[in-house]
Amino acid sequence: MMTRVIAVVLTYNRQELLQCCLDAIQQQTRRCDDILVINNASTDGTREMLESGKYSDLKVYSLKKNMGAAGGFNAGFRLAYDNGADYVWMMDDDVIPETTALERLLEADALLEEKGAKRTYLLSTAFTETGQSTNTPQISDKRNEAGHFGWPEQLEHGLVAVCSGTFVSILLPRSTLKQYGLPISSMFIWGEDAEFTLRITREAPGYLVGASRVAHIRHGGASISIVAETNPVRIGYYKNFVRNNIFLARKYKTRRRLFSVLFNNVVLTIKMLLKGEPRKAYVVMVGLTQSLFFNPHSERVDADYDYSNIEKSTTHQADTYVDHSAGAANPAMFAGLKYIRQS
């Protein structure tokens, strides 16, 4: 029986990047059996573009309300599961996979199956548009029967066992969703992917696949930092970053690490006040306060769900010719594209 692979792309107000992402998915050497686009209440004409006939046979699920990245990924995994996926290939709209990215992920999965190696997911290796490594996952600390870390065992095949990663081209078998549930919607933004991958690798690791490559279009974007942030809307989101990091430390890290995270955020609040940035200090304090009561639980993939926030439409190719010849990972494709972080 053929393995049913469904690609899922989460998008929010990045129409040009989304088109590059979809072009790359449709050029895969191993074709996807379905492509789902989760439109997270975009306001830039994304929905109209998707329904214009430019792309063939997409299933577009438009959320009436922006659920944040966490809510969007939660819905995307759930809807792929509902559509009968054996594997879900998940990514943001700023991920541009090379043409063999999916094929290499599936080959790695088959190799691990042949070796009897347990795994919960596979990740592509991500690079910026300038060729630098990005979204580097955390290497697994599980030990083998000899008492040593087991991650070097698959290096000869270009695979590394990992315990924490992002949703930048992650391939998840249906069984993982069935056993471990979904990303936590209430995290809203920042950290939902870390929580999810840490949760599902408690018994078996994920694997980074060196031969599966994607471009993650960051336009030189630095790491998340409220200190450097100037966008007033995004500054408000940092309460989620603080709250979620404390939640992750409390759930998955040592007590020493938890105290370190708490201490660093208290120091950050003081620094913001001394720099004359009371709003940033207030946002950090809100995150600290919310973390005291934030203890969300994951949902089962087959649990009851309110679908009233989702509007579905299926696209069909128009008669006009669409040029997909630019190439999936050519950096010249990305010149001039406006980058807006997911929210």
SS (H, E, C) 253-299: CCHHHHHHHHHHHHHHHHHHHHCCCHHHHHHHHHHHHHHCCCCCCCC
Greater pLDDT, 328 or 62 = 62
**Closest by alpha carbon to 150, among 114, 117, 172?**
117
Task: Write down the pLDDT at residue 325.
Answer: 35
Please give the Cα distance from 260 to 257 (Å, whole number). 5
Task: Write down the pLDDT at residue 251.
Answer: 97
Helix (H, G, I), strand (E, B) or coil at 137: coil
Six-digit token string for 259: 């105290």
Please give the Cα distance from 153 to 138 (Å, whole number). 16
Asked if 283 and 238 count as a contact pair (C-beta separation under 8 A), the reply is yes
Asked if 77 and 177 count as a contact pair (C-beta separation under 8 A), the reply is yes
Q: Is the pLDDT of residue 6 over 90?
A: yes
As a whole-number percent, the residues of the chain with pLDDT over 90 amount to 82
Greater pLDDT, 144 or 41 = 41
Six-digit token string for 249: 């430390």
Provide the residue type at 24 as one letter.
A
Total length of the chain: 343
Q: Is the pLDDT of residue 289 over 60?
A: yes
pLDDT digits (tens, 9 = 90+) for 30-89: 999 999 999 999 999 999 999 888 888 899 999 999 999 999 999 999 999 999 999 999
CA atoms within 13 A on the CB side of 309: 16
Asked if 179 and 172 count as a contact pair (C-beta separation under 8 A), the reply is no
Residue 170 backbone dihedrals phi, psi, to 5 degrees? -115, 135
Task: Write down the pLDDT at residue 55.
Answer: 87
**Closest by alpha carbon to 112, among 143, 145, 158, 146?**
158
Those residues with Cβ within 8 angstroms of residue 83's Cβ, 6 or more apart along the chain or in another chain: 6, 34, 36, 59
3-state DSSP percent of the chain in helix, strand and coil, to 5: 40, 20, 40
**Closest by alpha carbon to 315, among 29, 37, 17?**
37
pLDDT digits (tens, 9 = 90+) for 92-132: 999 999 999 999 999 999 999 999 999 999 999 999 988 99
Task: Write down the pLDDT at residue 104.
Answer: 98
Task: Write down the pLDDT at residue 109.
Answer: 98
pLDDT digits (tens, 9 = 90+) for 195-233: 999 999 999 999 999 999 999 997 555 578 999 999 999
Residue 125 backbone dihedrals phi, psi, to 5 degrees? -85, 125
List residues bridging with 133 in a β-sheet.
Answer: 127
